[in-house]
Amino acid sequence: MAKLYFYYASMNAGKSTTLLQADFNYRERGMATMLFTAAIDDRYAKGTITSRLDVSANATTFDPETDIAAIVAAAHAHEKVACVLVDEAQFLTSAQVDQLAHLADVVGIPVLAYGLRTDFQADLFPGSARLLALADSLVELKSVCECGRKATMNLRVDEQGRAVVAGAQTEIGGNDRYVALCRKHFVAARQASAAAGA
C-alpha cells in the first residue's frame, strides 16, 4: 500500500539533498518519478530543486491554485509514476495535502513530501500542519545548532545577523536570512533582539 511521508526539519538539514537522492534511487531502477517545488521559492532557477551540495533536478512548480493530483493523474495515464516527491512542502495548501493523500490512498502512488515544520515565529505552516495530521509516516531530519544540539527552529535574521521577531510568515531566503537553532538559543536570540528594540 502506498503511503504519504512527511520529512520535516529546520533549515539546512539536507531536505532537498535527501529528496534528490530518493529520486535518483527510483530513476536508477528505471522507475518514473514526478518532482514538485514551490513556485514562490526563487533562490535558484525556477522549476528546479537545488541542494546546498549543488545537486539539482527539474521539477514542476506549484502555487496555491495548482491541482497536483490532476497533473500526476494525467502523467500516470501515459507512463506509470512510481513516486511523487515534493520539495518546500510547507507551502502546500491544506487542499493540496489532501490531494497528495488521495494519490497515495486511491491512485496507489507513494508521496514523499519534504519541508519545514515551523516558521520563524515557531508557528506551523498550513501545509506542514496538514501533513502532520495526515501523513502515514513522519520523519524528522536532523540539523545542528551552533551549540551542537539538535536544531529544530528557524531564526530569521536581518543584515546584521540580529533576530527578526515580526513580519510576514513567508520570506524566501537561505543562510543570509535564516539560522537553524535549538529551541534554547532560538528563544534567547529572539529575546535579545526584542530587548534591544530590533
pLDDT digits (tens, 9 = 90+) for 18-60: 999 999 999 999 999 999 999 877 666 777 887 877 787 899 9
Is 153 a member of any domain? no
Is 87 a member of any domain? yes
Is 17 a member of any domain? yes
Q: What is the Cα–Cα distance from 129 to 188, expressed in whole angstroms?
A: 25
Give the pLDDT score at 159.
Answer: 82
Give the pLDDT score at 196.
Answer: 76
Is 154 a member of any domain? no
Under 8 Å between Cβ of 84 and 100: yes
Q: What is the Cα–Cα distance from 87 to 6, expressed in whole angstroms?
A: 10
Is 122 a member of any domain? yes
Show the DSSP H helices in 29-107 as ranges: 68-78, 94-102
Q: Which three cell numbers stand for residue 129?
A: 500542519
- Mean pLDDT, residues 111-124 taken together: 94
Range of the domain at 63: 4-142
Is 195 a member of any domain? no
Find the catalytic residue in 65, 79, 88, 159. 88
Under 8 Å between Cβ of 62 and 71: no
Is 111 a member of any domain? yes
Is the pLDDT at 121 greater than 60? The verdict is: yes
How many structural domains compose the chain? 1
CATH number of the domain residue 117 falls in: 3.40.50.300
Is 32 a member of any domain? yes
β-pair type (137-140, 32-38):
unpaired
Under 8 Å between Cβ of 69 and 104: no
Active site residue 171: no
Q: Quick check: helix, strand or coil at residue 123?
A: coil
Is the pLDDT at 194 greater than 90? The verdict is: no
Q: What is the Cα–Cα distance from 108 to 103, expressed in whole angstroms?
A: 6
Residue 40 CB contacts under 8 Å (≥ 6 apart), including other chains: 63, 88, 91, 170, 172
Beta-carbon neighbour count of residue 78 at 10 Å? Answer: 8
Residues 150-165: pLDDT tens digits? 999 988 888 877 878 7
pTM of the predicted protein model: 0.90
